[in-house]
Amino acid sequence: MNDSDATVKLVVDGHEIQAKPGEMIIAAAEKAGVLIPRFCYHPRLEPVGVCRMCLVEVKGPRGFSLQPACYLPVAEGMEVVTNSDKAKKAQDGVLEYLLANHPLDCPVCDKGGECPLQDQTFVYGPGESRFVEEKRHYPKPIPISKLVYLDRERCIQCDRCTRFADDVAGEALINFIGRGGSIQVNTFPDKPFSSYFSGNTVQICPVGALTATPYRFKARPWDLEQVESTCVGCSVGCQIVVQSSENELVRYLGLDSEAVNHSWLCDKGRFGFESVNSSDRLGTPTIRNGTAAKEASWTEAMAKLAEPLNRARKRPESIAIIGGAHLANEDLYVWSKLAKSIFGTDSVDAQLGDGLDPRLLTRTNRATIADAVGAEVLVLLSGDIREELPVLFLRLREAAISSGLKIVELTHAATSLTPNAAASIVVSPGQVEATVRSLVEQSGQEPSDPSIAVAKAIIAGADPNRIVVLAGRMNQAGSSLDQERAIATLIDAKPGSKLLSGLRRANVNGAIDMGFVPGHLPGRCALTEGSKELIDAWKQVPTQIGRSTPEILAAAANGEIDVLFLIGADPISDAPDPELSERALAKVGTVVSVETLPNASTRFASIILPAAAFTERMGSTTNVESRISLLGQKLVSFGLSRPEWMIAVEIAAAIGEDLGFESMHDVWRELSVVSPLHRGLSLQALGSPGTREGVLVPVRRSRVSIASNRSLDPVATPGIISVEHSGPPSSSGTGRGSDAYPGIEANASAVESVDSRISGDLLDLLATPNEVAPIGSGDLVPVLRRRLFDGGTMLVRSKNLTELAPAPRVTVGGSTAASMGFAAGSKVTLSNGTSELPDLELVVDRGVADGVVVVDLDGESGLTRRVIQGENLRLTIKLESV
Amino acid sequence: MTLAPFKIVSKRVDDPEAVGLQGYLATGGYQALKRAVLDLTPEAIRDQVMQASLLGRGGAGFEAGRKWSMLKKSDVRYLVINGDESEPATFKDHMLVERDPHQLVEGALIAGYAIGAARIFIFLRGEFALGLERVQAAINEAYEYGAIGRNIFGSDFSIDLVLHPGAGAYICGEETALLESLEGKRGFPRIKPPYFPAVIGLYGQPTIVNNVETVSNLPWIVMNGGGEFSELGVGRSRGTRLFALSGDVIRPGNYELEMVKNTFRDLIFDPEMGGGLAPGRQVKAVIPGGVSAPWLGPDQLDVLLGQDEVAAVGSMLGSGSIIVMDDSTCMVRAAWRIAKFFARESCGQCTPCREGGSWIEKVMRRIETGSGREEDLDLLMDLCDNIVPGVSWPPQQTTICVLGPSIPSSVATAIRMFRDEFLLHIKEGGCPYE
Amino acid sequence: MARFTPDMETRALAVIELYPERRSATIPLCHLAQEQDGYLTREAMEQISELVGITPAEVLGTASFYDMLHTEPVGKYLVGVCTNIACLLKGGEELLEHAEQALGVAPGGTTDDGMFTLEEMECIAHCDKAPAVQVNYRFFGPLGDESFDSLVEELRGGALDAVVPPHGTLSRVHRTSGIAVPLAEIIEARRSGDLLEAERARAKAEAEGAGGNQL
CA torsion A298-A303-A307-A309 (nearest 10°) is: 30
What is the arithmetic mean of pLDDT over A315-325? 97
User: Are B186 and C62 in contact (CB < 8 Å)?
Assistant: yes
Q: Could you report the per-residue pLDDT of A743-770, keeping only the tens digit for each?
A: 788 888 899 999 999 988 999 999 998 7
User: Which residues of chain A have a CB within 8 Å of the CB of B399?
Assistant: 52
Judge: B352–A183 Cβ closer than 8 Å, yes or no: no
- Side-by-side strand order, sheet with A248-254: A225-230, A239-245, A248-254
Classified as helix, coil or strand, B202 is helix
**A573 and A496 assigned to the same domain:** no
pLDDT of residue A684: 85
pLDDT confidence of residue B63: 95
Chains A, B: CB pairs < 8 Å = 96
**pLDDT attached to residue A366:** 97
% of chain A at pLDDT higher than 70: 95
Please indicate, yes or no, if residue B3 is contained in any of the structural domains.
Answer: no
Output the average pLDDT for chain A: 91
pLDDT in tens, A792-801: 888 888 989 9
Return d(Cα A244, Cα A252) in angstroms, integer.
9
Task: Please judge whether A175 and C60 are an interchain contact, meaning their C-beta atoms are less than 8 angstroms apart.
Answer: yes
Q: What is the pLDDT of residues B4-36, one digit of tens each?
A: 789 999 999 999 999 999 999 999 999 999 999
Q: C39: which chain B residues are within 8 Å (Cβ-Cβ)? A: none
Nearest to B136 among C66, C136, C175 (CB): C175
C-alpha–C-alpha distance, residues A79 and A59, integer Å: 5
Q: Domain total for chain B? A: 3
**Domain for residue A29, yes or no?**
yes
> Which residues in chain B touch residue A178, judged by CB atoms under 8 angstroms apart?
348
Q: Do C128 and B254 touch (CB under 8 A)?
A: yes
Residue B46 CB partners (closer than 8 Å, separation 6+): B65, B68, B69, B114, B115
Residue A861 belongs to a domain: yes
Average pLDDT (A448-455) is 93
Clarify whether residues B342 and B424 are in a common domain.
yes
Question: Cβ–Cβ of C61/A175 closer than 8 Å?
Answer: yes
Q: Which residues, 6 or more positions from A363, have their beta carbon under 8 angstroms from its beta carbon?
A: A524, A757, A758, A759, A762, A765
Question: Is pLDDT above 70 for A732?
Answer: no
pLDDT band at C208 (very low <50, low <70, confident <90, very high): confident
Q: Looking at residue A505, what is its pLDDT?
A: 96
Residues A544 and A434 in one domain: no
CB contact A71 to B (< 8 Å): yes
Q: What is this model's ipTM?
A: 0.96
Preferred mutation among A38, A40, A52 to probe B, highest tally of B CBs within 10 A = A52
Of C46, C58, C66, the CB nearest to A175: C58
Q: Measuring CA to CA, which residue among B316, B399, B392, B317 is closest to residue B355?
A: B399
**DSSP per residue, C67-94:** TT--SS---SEEEEEE-SHHHHTTTHHH
In this complex, the residue of A178, A179, A191 whose CB is nearest that of residue C56 is A191
The full set of domains in chain C, from first to last, is 1-73+168-198 (1.10.10.1590), 77-164 (3.40.30.10)
Q: How far is B62 from chain C (nearest CA, A)?
A: 23
Q: Please give the tally of structural domains in chain A.
A: 5
DSSP letter assigned to residue B296: B
Share of chain C above pLDDT 90, in %: 94
A336 three-class SS: helix
Q: Are residues B130 and B187 in the same domain?
A: yes
Contact C141, C129 (CB under 8 A): yes
If asked whether residues B121 and B259 sit together in one domain, one would say no
Measure the CA–CA gap between A418 and A244, rounded to whole angstroms. Answer: 39
Interface of C with B in 18-57 (CB under 8 A): 18-21, 23-28, 30-31, 52, 54
List A111's β-bridge partners, or say none. none
Q: Are residues A520 and A413 in the same domain?
A: no
What pLDDT score was predicted for residue A833?
A: 87
Please indicate whether, in this complex, the C-beta atoms of A177 and C60 are within 8 angstroms of each other. yes
Continuous H helices in A600-687: 644-654, 664-674, 683-686
pLDDT tens column, C43-53? 999 999 999 99
CA A154, distance to chain mean position in Å, is 32
Domain shared by B286 and B410, yes or no: no
Residues of C in contact with B345 (CB under 8 A): 122
Q: Summarize the confidence of residues B54-67 as an average pLDDT.
A: 94
Other Cβ atoms within 10 Å of C56 Cβ, number: 23
What does DSSP say about strands A809-812 and A836-844: parallel, antiparallel, or unpaired? parallel
Q: What is the mean pLDDT of residues A468-482?
A: 95
Most confident listed range (A714-718, A729-733, B297-301): B297-301
Q: Which chains touch B (3 or more CB pairs under 8 A)?
A: A, C
Q: Please state, in angstroms and rounded to a whole number, the distance separating the CA atoms of residues A96 and A707.
A: 39
Which of chain A's residues have a Cβ under 8 Å away from the Cβ of C54? 172
What is the DSSP secondary structure assignment for residue A342, as one 8-state letter? I
Contact C27 B184 (CB under 8 A): yes
Write down the pLDDT at residue A731: 31
Q: Which amino acid is at B342?
A: F
- CA gap B268, B251 in Å, rounded: 9
**Nearest C-alpha of chain C: how many angstroms from A581?**
44
Q: Are B289 and B321 in contact (CB under 8 A)?
A: yes
In a domain, A225, yes or no: no
- The domain containing residue B380 runs over which residues? 331-428
End residue of a domain, out of B173, B208, B230: B230
Q: What is the pLDDT of residues C43-99, one digit of tens each?
A: 999 999 999 999 999 999 999 999 999 999 999 999 999 999 999 999 999 999 999
List pLDDT tens digits, range A43-80: 999 999 999 999 999 998 889 999 999 999 999 999 99
Q: Residue A673 sits in a domain of what CATH number?
A: 3.40.50.740
Same domain for B190 and B135, yes or no, is yes
Q: Is the pLDDT of residue A726 over 50?
A: no
**Is A742 or A37 the better-scoring residue by pLDDT?**
A37
Report the alpha-carbon distance of residue B422 to residue B376 in Å, rounded: 10
Question: Domain check: are A530 and A516 in the same one?
Answer: yes
| DSSP string over A446-480 | PPSSHHHHHHHHHHHHS-GGGEEEEE--S-SSS-S
Report pLDDT digits (tens) over A241-274: 999 999 999 999 999 899 999 999 999 999 999 9
Least confident of A82-91, A583-592, A741-750, B303-312: A741-750
CA distances from A350 to A322, A354, A506, B397, C9 (A): 6, 10, 11, 62, 55
Contacts of A415 (CB under 8 A, 6+ apart): A380, A383, A384, A385, A386, A409, A424, A847
Nearest alpha carbon to residue B356 among B348, B394, A104? B348
Instruction: Provide the shortest C-alpha distance from residue B103 to chain A (in Å).
Output: 35
B389/A49 CB distance under 8 A:
no
Instruction: Indicate whether A222 belongs to any domain.
Output: no
Q: What is the CATH number of the domain that holds B287?
A: 3.10.20.600
How confident is the model at residue C129, as a pLDDT? 97
Whole-structure pTM value: 0.95
pLDDT at residue number A703: 54
Question: Which of A805, A809, A804 lies closest to A860 in space, CA to CA?
Answer: A805
Give the other-Cβ count within 10 Å of A387's Cβ: 22
Residue B389 to residue A86, Cβ atoms within 8 A: yes
Considering chain A, what percentage of its residues have pLDDT values greater than 90?
77
| Least trusted range by pLDDT, from A281-290, A494-503, B201-210 | A281-290
Inter-chain CB proximity C55 and A177 less than 8 Å:
no
- Phi, psi for A234 (deg, rounded to 5): -150, -165
When pLDDT is cut at 50, 70 and 90, the band that residue A721 belongs to is low
CA-nearest residue to B348 within chain A is A180
The H-or-E segment that residue A388 falls in is helix A385-388
Radius of gyration in angstroms for the set of CA atoms belonging to chain A, rounded to a whole number:
28
Q: Which of B172, B196, B230 is the last residue of a domain?
A: B230
Asked if C89 lies within 8 A of B167 by C-beta distance, the reply is: no
> Do B200 and B298 share a domain, yes or no?
no
Which pLDDT value is given to residue A723?
Answer: 47
Q: How confident is the model at residue A717 (pLDDT cuts 50, 70, 90)?
A: confident
Distance (Å, whole) CA A284 – CA A295: 6
**CA A343, A345, A346, A347 torsion: positive or negative?**
negative
- How many secondary structure helices (H) and strands (E) does chain C include? 8, 4
Indicate if B84 and B202 belong to the same structural domain.
yes
More confident residue, A640 or A745: A640
Decide if C54 touches A, using CB distance below 8 A.
yes
pLDDT category of residue A620 using cuts at 50, 70 and 90 = very high
Q: Where are the beta strands (DSSP E) in B39-101?
A: 78-83
Contact A503, A379 (CB under 8 A): no
Residue A715 has pLDDT above 80, yes or no: no
Mean pLDDT within A399-424: 97
Categorize the per-residue pLDDT at B316 as very low, low, confident or very high, splitting at 50, 70 and 90.
very high
A416 and A339 in a common domain: no
Q: How far apart are CA A820 and CA A828, in angstroms?
A: 12
Question: Do A676 and A785 sit in the same domain of this protein?
Answer: no
Distance from CA of B113 to the nearest CA of C (A): 10
User: What distance in Å separates the CA atoms of residue B64 and residue B37, rounded to the nearest whole number?
Assistant: 20
Burial of B85 (0-12, 13-18, 19+ CB in 10 A): buried
A878 pLDDT band, cuts 50/70/90, is: confident
Asked if C134 is an interface residue toward chain B (Cβ–Cβ < 8 A), one would say yes
Q: Please list every residue in chain C whose beta carbon sits closer than 8 Å to the beta carbon of residue B167.
A: 27, 30-31, 63, 66-69
Residue A800 falls inside a structural domain: yes
Mean pLDDT of the A478-496 span: 96
The whole-number average pLDDT for the span A154-161 is 97
Domain boundary among A213, A232, A261: A213
Say what the pLDDT of residue A742 is. Answer: 66
User: Is A306 in contact with A654 (CB distance < 8 Å)?
Assistant: yes
- C-beta of residue C126 within 8 angstroms of C-beta of residue B94: yes
Are residues B275 and B315 part of one domain?
yes
- Residue A3's pLDDT band, with cuts at 50, 70 and 90, is very low
Q: Touching check for C136 and chain B: CB below 8 Å? A: yes
**Inter-residue contact A676 to A721 (CB < 8 Å):** no
Range of the structural domain that residue A437 is part of: 359-501
Contact C186 B119 (CB under 8 A): yes
Inter-chain residue contact C85 with B126, CB threshold 8 Å: no
**Residue B236 forms part of a structural domain:** no
Report the helix count and the strand count for chain B, using DSSP H and E.
Answer: 19, 10
What is the CB neighbour count within 10 angstroms for residue A666? Answer: 17
